[in-house]
Amino acid sequence: QVQLVESGGGLVQPGGSLRLSCAVSGISANYPMGWYRQAPGNQRDMVATIGTFGATNYADPVKGRFTIFRDAAKNTLYLQMNSLKPEDTAVYYCQLRVATAYWGQGTQVTVSS
């Protein structure tokens, strides 16, 4: 059974940093994976993706501030978020794509002073 479990969200002040984790079980994390976010009333948008061989892609609003990476030994995907802004506030979800898409339950990130 494939499971993705996100953690690391929380409340942070503007300009602060957070690191999100997505622990993968039941399958290798070396498949294409990504982070998505959804703010209240909005659709779920792509934040960053990483391919099987490590190629990365970022949404324009987060370029230069967020970094997606994974630790194969820990079978875990990460999202390092720096210089956070109030508009980054959302529920963040990780996704793994292999024939079908698997999603985690999400973790809340709130950027506020």
Strands 33-38 and 56-58, by their bridges, are unpaired
In tens, the pLDDT along 70-79 reads 999 999 999 9
Q: What is the pLDDT of residues 90-104, one digit of tens each?
A: 999 999 999 899 999
Quote the pLDDT of residue 35: 98
pLDDT in tens, 34-91: 999 999 999 999 999 999 999 999 999 999 999 999 999 999 999 999 999 999 999 9
Q: What is the pLDDT of residue 104?
A: 97
Q: Tell me how far CA of residue 77 lies from CA of 13, 41, 56, 91, 98, in angstroms.
A: 24, 27, 12, 16, 15
| pLDDT over 90 at 28, yes or no | no
Mean pLDDT, residues 10-16 taken together: 98
